[in-house]
Amino acid sequence: MRLVYTETGLPVKVGDKIMDDESGLALTVDFFRPPHKPASSGKISLRDDQGHCREFYVGVIDAKWIEREDQV
């Protein structure tokens, strides 16, 4: 199972910079965890420049899991 950006198909990597459209700040991918059941989308943690982390569903950064073993 791999987490990729929906638009490009490129893999999401720890350390990637994501632009927050609301605040205009760059956020850094801190970690992500795969879905825990077939209906789940998984979560991603983003860190701001001050070191604060927030957790979001992966769709917030326009990403999705591919090659999922838990879905047909």
Closest CA to 36 of 70, 63, 2: 70
Closest CA to 5 of 63, 66, 51: 63
Q: How far apart are CA 8 and CA 54, in angstroms?
A: 24
**What is the pLDDT, as a whole number, of residue 12?**
97
Q: What is the model's pTM?
A: 0.84
Closest CA to 4 of 70, 58, 69, 60: 58
Question: Residue 10, Cβ neighbours under 10 Å: how many?
Answer: 10
**What is the pLDDT, as a whole number, of residue 66?**
92
Q: How far apart are CA 18 and CA 30, in angstroms?
A: 11
The tens digit of pLDDT for each residue in 23-63 reads 788 999 999 998 988 888 899 999 999 999 999 999 999 99
- Does 72 have pLDDT greater than 80? no
- Does 69 have pLDDT greater than 90? no
**What is the pLDDT, as a whole number, of residue 63?**
96
